[in-house]
Amino acid sequence: MNTSQGGPLRLFFYVNGFIMTTILAFIAAGIMTTYSSPFTSETAKAWMKDVNANQLFMHVIKSENHAFFPNQKSPDLYSISELTFELATNIQPTDIRTFVKSELPGLSIYDTEIAVAGYGTDLTTLPVESAPPMEVLLQERAIAKEKLQSDPGDGVTPVVPGAKSVFIYHTHSYESFIPLLQGAKSKDDAISSNEKVNVIALGKKLTDELAKYGIGVEHDQTNMTAELKKKSWDWASSYSLSREIVEAAVAENKNLSYFIDIHRDSLSRDITTTVINQKEYARLFFIVGRENKNYEENLQIATELNKKLEERYPGISRGVFIKGKSEGNGVYNQDISNRALLLEVGGVENDLTELNNSIKAFAEIFSEFYKKAEMVNG
């Protein structure tokens, strides 16, 4: 072989190798961003979302011949080496969180966007979405009956309306509260299938309170732990199960217009409790999924309710949080309706009195919002 041809041949193989590497990178990124899985790279998602074809072309040209940009800063795009590294490892060298996020449980919550921050809300008080293993969920603790004193109420007997327009359900029906369970000490102990001490009790309370305002509620009280076990599904499939429940309800009752999924948070009492006019309340907050067609409308409703709550009960809300698939479910069944809410009520250390106080406050504000919306819609 003539050695004078070595340079052109090397350049030929280099250029072809570069082109093939770039094509393979796009194919890999496309696959990873098309199919959601635990292995999908967040870097790939972000890069594919922001990539610009013209910038990419100019970037490739510059990488081959720097004379094209003698006095100009290179386009703001990943270098091929950086891109390959980040796609392969999901680590961004400029963001130290990505070095440890996959290794430290809970650190990924710092990707949550705070749409509206309540009093005291910062990166250390963001909601935590997690659950114990299925074997823990299946365990049952004795309830602390002495803590289940009935709410004296306001003397108004609810008259259940015939028409049901609000659907209340509980994707994590097993979420309970430490003060209501015997021997419970940690957040992982706050699990129960007993509807007197888990979030189903809050759904019942809200159903009664809304009835006082003339709003009919259909309340689903499915034992989600039992249903998951029956289907041989784990905790991660909870939203798939609750989706089936919501879709069945919609198919049966076309009058349903609002959907409220009630949860409780896992953080401590100092974060989830507040005092308003010498009365203790379990703090509320809203979760809005970013990954669905109704995102903006549902965010608007959550934001409006949050605003009204704060105006009348300053400090009762921790805010409105937006979550994508990398931080949680990302949809939360909110694609089914543009009037879907995920409401978190208190945390693992709140007692029944504090929880009921907050449910009453929410019912008051929601009923006003509901009636105003109904008037506007005729």
The pTM (predicted TM-score) of the whole model is 0.70
Q: How far apart are CA 352 and CA 149, in angstroms?
A: 8
Confidence band for 40, pLDDT divided at 50, 70 and 90: very low
DSSP 307-335: HHHHHHSTT-EEEEEEE-TTTS-S-TTTT
Question: In degrees, to the nearest 5, what angle opens at C-alpha 235 toward C-alphas 229 and 240?
Answer: 90
Here the tokens at position 150 are 């009935």
Contact 336, 246 (CB under 8 A): yes
Here the tokens at position 65 are 């011949």
Residue 159 has a pLDDT of: 74
Question: In degrees, to the nearest 5, what angle opens at C-alpha 23 toward C-alphas 20 and 29?
Answer: 140
CB-based burial of residue 69 (10 Å sphere; 0-12 exposed, 13-18 middle, 19+ buried)? middle
Residues in the chain: 378
Confidence band for 165, pLDDT divided at 50, 70 and 90: very high
Q: How far apart are CA 261 and CA 341, in angstroms?
A: 6
Strand order across the 217-219 sheet: 113-117, 317-323, 284-289, 340-345, 258-263, 166-169, 217-219
Q: How far apart are CA 300 and CA 342, in angstroms?
A: 13
**How confident is the model over 17-32, as a mean pLDDT?**
62
Tens of pLDDT, residue by residue over 194-243, are 999 999 999 999 999 999 999 999 999 999 999 999 999 988 899 999 99
Q: How far apart are CA 54 and CA 21, in angstroms?
A: 19
For 95, residues 6+ apart whose C-beta sits below 8 A from its C-beta are: none
Contact 262, 203 (CB under 8 A): yes
Average pLDDT for the chain: 78
Work out the number of other CB atoms within 10 angstroms of the CB of residue 62: 16
DSSP 3-state of 258: strand
DSSP 23-60: HHHHHHHHHHHHS--TT--HHHHHHHHH--HHHHHHHH
Here the tokens at position 48 are 């594919």
Residue 88 has a pLDDT of: 52
